[in-house]
Amino acid sequence: MNKIIAEIGSSHDGSFGNAKKLIVESFNCGVDIVKFQLHLPEFEMLSNAPGPKYFKDENRYEYFKRTNFSLEQLVVLKKMTEKYGMEFMVSPFSEKAVEILKKVNVNYFKIASGEVTNHKMLELIKKTGKKVFLSTGMSSWNEIDQALKILDKKKTVIMQCSSIYPCPEESVGLNILLEMKNKYKIPVGFSDHFLGCEAGFAAAALGASVIEKHITFSRKMYGSDAPFAMELLEFKNYVKGIKSIWKMNKNPVDKNNLKKYRDMKRVFEKSIVINKGMKKNEVIRDEDMSFKKPGDGISAMHYKKIIGKKLKNSIHKDHKLIKKDLC
């Protein structure tokens, strides 16, 4: 399973029109899954709960209340997503959100990094029977272990990410992808908060089968997600690059199968050439040989085996040696 997730998040800033347009643009970029978030602040947080340091322009409680979509709107977004041949995923942030998303009949649940320790919500999600993508940006190994004891591992993709916006190079944690793969024996993904393409490309090369990235019309847009998201043209190239890497991973090369290089070897490799005129029965010495293209004679790699051999017939300078020339 290889999937690219366009994390729309709050990049729509509460505009239903922007949300629909971002679905279309996600399709144009070639993604497989579009992802939204369902924040119900009255069920999710206290009214005075602090916001993250990177977004202080609006009270968090009021921000989520303003940018939230209703059940009916989510149903419309899901239908539109499926119309474009993609799948619809939402991150719930409360038990109430899970109940609403069950009615929406989302294709998948995404568990955000801050919800890994919310065991009651994980239990409700497991009961839905839906596949789960588990983000782990702020979780210890023990916390991840505890979450996976609750969830159905056979229906879980574990996602390495770093809950830092934007994520610097030294905090990407590519090593954790391999550790997760070895430790849990389930599909591993990568939620990419690095500003460029490099982290996602590296994760795909290392075996991440799911890549998630925030998408936006412009990083200059208002909101908590847009400044750290990827704009459309770059996102399209990002998706293209990741799919190309996945194709490379799916097609291992056998270094002993050289059929496809037959013509190239003839053009570029060297054959053993006699560098002067020689007579019949004369013994070939090291200094009698040169190595020249094309590579369809006796390979230059066999020159030591030729030293001391006798010639069956006289030959001229620059004669390309073949086996029939030797006694």
Per-residue pLDDT tens digits for 97-116 = 999 999 999 999 999 999 99
User: Does 48 have pLDDT greater than 90?
Assistant: no
Hey, what amino acid is at 170? E
C-alpha span between 265 and 104 (Å, rounded): 59
Number of C-beta neighbours around residue 259 at 10 A: 6
Q: What percent of the chain has pLDDT over 70?
A: 100
Question: Which among 258, 192, 260 has a CA at the least distance from the CA of 228?
Answer: 192
User: Does 148 have pLDDT greater than 80?
Assistant: yes
Question: Which among 122, 118, 114, 140 has a CA at the least distance from the CA of 51?
Answer: 114
Average pLDDT over residues 208-213: 98
User: Does 222 have pLDDT greater than 90?
Assistant: no
pLDDT at 59: 86
CA angle in degrees (0–180, nearest 5) for 149-153-154: 155
pLDDT at 225: 83
The residue with tokens 């090291």 is: 286
Q: pLDDT tens digits for 60-74?
A: 888 889 999 999 999
pLDDT at 204: 98
C-alpha span between 189 and 209 (Å, rounded): 5
326 DSSP assignment: B
17, containing H or E segment:
helix 16-29
C-alpha span between 281 and 319 (Å, rounded): 16
Q: Give DSSP secondary structure letters for 131-153.
A: EEEEE-TT--HHHHHHHHHHS-G
User: Does 36 have pLDDT greater than 90?
Assistant: yes
Average pLDDT over residues 275-288: 96
pLDDT at 55: 78
Q: Which own/partner contact pairs does 71-79 have at CB distance under 8 Å and 24+ positions apart? A: 71/100, 71/103, 71/104, 73/16, 73/19, 74/36, 74/38, 74/100, 74/101, 74/104, 75/104, 76/20, 77/19, 77/20, 77/23, 77/36, 78/104, 78/105, 78/106
User: Does 56 have pLDDT greater than 80?
Assistant: no
C-alpha span between 215 and 20 (Å, rounded): 13
Give the SS3 label for residue 5.
strand
pLDDT at 104: 97
pTM of the model as a whole: 0.89
pLDDT at 317: 96
Average pLDDT over residues 270-294: 96
User: Does 216 have pLDDT greater than 80?
Assistant: yes
Average pLDDT over residues 159-182: 95
Cα–chain center distance at 152:
23
User: Does 199 have pLDDT greater than 90?
Assistant: yes
**Cα dihedral sign, 78-80-81-82:** positive
Average pLDDT over residues 252-273: 93
Average pLDDT over residues 157-184: 95
Question: Which among 128, 131, 23 has a CA at the least distance from the CA of 73?
Answer: 23
C-alpha span between 20 and 22 (Å, rounded): 5
Whole-number mean pLDDT of the chain? 95
Average pLDDT over residues 75-83: 98
**How buried is residue 80: exposed, middle or buried, by Cβ count under 10 Å (0-12/13-18/19+)?**
middle
C-alpha span between 225 and 217 (Å, rounded): 11
